Amino acid sequence: MAVEHSTDESTDLFLLEEGGVFSDTVRSDRPASFTLQNGLEVVVIPDHRTPVVTQMIWYKVGSADEPPGKSGLAHFLEHLMFKGTSKHPENEFSKAVLRAGGNHNAFTGLDYTSYFQHVPREHLGEMMDFEADRMTGLILKDENVLSERDVVLEEFNKRVANHPGERLAQQMMAALYLNHPYGRPIIGWRHEIETLTREDALAFYKRFYAPNNAILIVAGDVAPKEIRSMVKERFGGIPAQPSIPLERLRPQEPTPAAPRAVTLADSRVEQPALHRSYLVPSARTAAAGEGSVLDVLEQLMGGGVNSYLYRSLVVEKQLAVTAGASYHSAALDFSLFQIWAIPKPGVKLSQIERSIDEVITDIGRNPASTEDLERVKTRLITQVTYVQDNHEMLARWYGRGLTTGLCIDDIRGWPDDIRAVDAQQVHEAVRKWLDKKRSVTGYLIKESAPKHGEKL
Active site residues: 78
Strands (E), 267-361: 273-280, 320-327, 335-343
Chain-centroid distance, C-alpha 432: 25
d(CA 456, CA 450): 7
Please check whether residue 140 is in contact with residue 77, taking contact to mean a CB–CB distance below 8 angstroms: no
User: For 290, how many CA atoms within 13 A lie in the half-sphere containing its CB?
Assistant: 15
Of 55, 51, 57, which is closest to residue 120 (Cα–Cα)? 51
Q: Of 363, 360, 328, which Cα lies nearest the Cα of 341?
A: 360
**Residue 33, helix vs strand vs coil:** strand
CB-count burial class (<10 Å; 0-12, 13-18, 19+) for 223:
exposed
Give CA–CA dist 71/196, Å, rounded: 9
**CA trace torsion 41, 47, 48, 49 (10° rounding):** -150
50 contacts 367 by C-beta, under 8 angstroms: no
Q: Which residues contact 454 (CB under 8 A, 6 or more apart)?
A: none
